[in-house]
Amino acid sequence: MLTFVAGLVMIIAAVGTRRLLTLTVALCGLLGAVVLPISAPDTWVEPAALSVAFAIAGLGVVVLSGWAGELFLAPLAITGLAAYATAWFAGDQGQPAVIAVTYALALAIILGVIAGAICAVQRSGAVVAVIGIGVAAVLSDAVFRSHAIGGVRHLSPALAHPLRTGGYEVAADVVLYYALLLVLVVCVLTVLVLRESRLAATLRASLLGGVAGCGVALDIGRVAPEQFSPLRSLLLVGSVLLFGRTRVVAGLAAGVVVGAVPEVMTRYHPLARYNATDVDLAVGALLLLAVVAGEVLRGARARGLLRRLPLPRVPGRGRRDAAATAALTHGDR
């Protein structure tokens, strides 16, 4: 017992309490995500898969907003573009899933290059935020809700039959969920290893958004405009800002919020009589208020700290300032 305690103390001292706590929470979350399809009803597999996909998109928000400092408010626009491209190529055009995913990721990277060029040219964060909202609105109305490639689209899942191994049978949607969860783990490890310039961060965020969109299309087999609405983009960004924009765990938690919380509210909350857009608006407004309140409290705490700090006195500065003030006053007269 003493050896175990000594080893635990050494691990905490080497890793750090905060990092150890973050790692413990991440491992508990991963264990819960693995056990969920086994213990929960079948109706929870789709919200869980959406949470995993949006967690991948949330990692892109962490990379772009937290590490690169660019507040891009349309992360799900890239995710939706990749999802609809996958559904269109694999469903309407009959292309193999690998080809459809390749085309979808290429479109996501092209949009990421355009966004990175805008961020590189325009340094104002407010202008970049407004451009992001405009991109989300244009894609939502012109692509996601168009009659040609938009609307609610269904495609055959990548795995249609159950997986049988050793006398056990695993449902096809559960197998696809675990595959998407494995993709999330790979994306987390990639994000933790690679930290580079702003352009690289933009491309990486776009690629993560594209992977999330392909995961939604191939795993769930249904793509709808409300899944990638501008309100959900704001909900994802607000969740990342609320949980800590520079933390990978914040992106994962934001994915759970965007994927699962609206589904829970529509099922078990009195707001169930409203549609999904109203639920997104309600949750996003609460998150926005929380983020704004946190920024106001942080600013007030910083101003209070500055008032309590003693300012350094420079010898002779008081006399020089008094002489300068007297000279200005005499000149005004």
Backbone torsions φ then ψ of 57, nearest 5 degrees: -65, -35
Longest dimension (CA), the chain: 100
DSSP tag of 144: I
The pLDDT value given to residue 182:
87
Residue 28 tokens read as: 């508990």
Count each helix (H run) and each strand (E run) in the chain, helices first: 12, 4
Helices (H), 140-197: 172-193
| Cβ-contact 240, 61 below 8 angstroms | yes
The pLDDT value given to residue 331:
47
The pLDDT value given to residue 68:
78
Beta pairing partners, 222 = 154
pLDDT, tens digit (0-9, with 9 covering 90-100), for 234-280 = 888 888 887 888 888 888 888 888 887 777 766 665 555 555 556 56
Q: Which residues contact 108 (CB under 8 A, 6 or more apart)?
A: 78, 81, 82, 206, 207, 209, 210, 213
| Cβ-contact 56, 179 below 8 angstroms | no
3-state secondary structure of 164: strand
Residue 15 tokens read as: 């890793």
The pLDDT value given to residue 330:
47
C-alpha angle with apex 214: 212 to 220, nearest 5 degrees? 95
Which residues of the chain are under the pLDDT cut of 70?
1-23, 26, 37-42, 122-125, 157-161, 165-167, 194-199, 265-296, 298-299, 302, 305-306, 308-333
Q: In whole angstroms, how far apart are CA 131 and each of 30, 71, 128, 163, 277?
A: 35, 10, 5, 45, 22
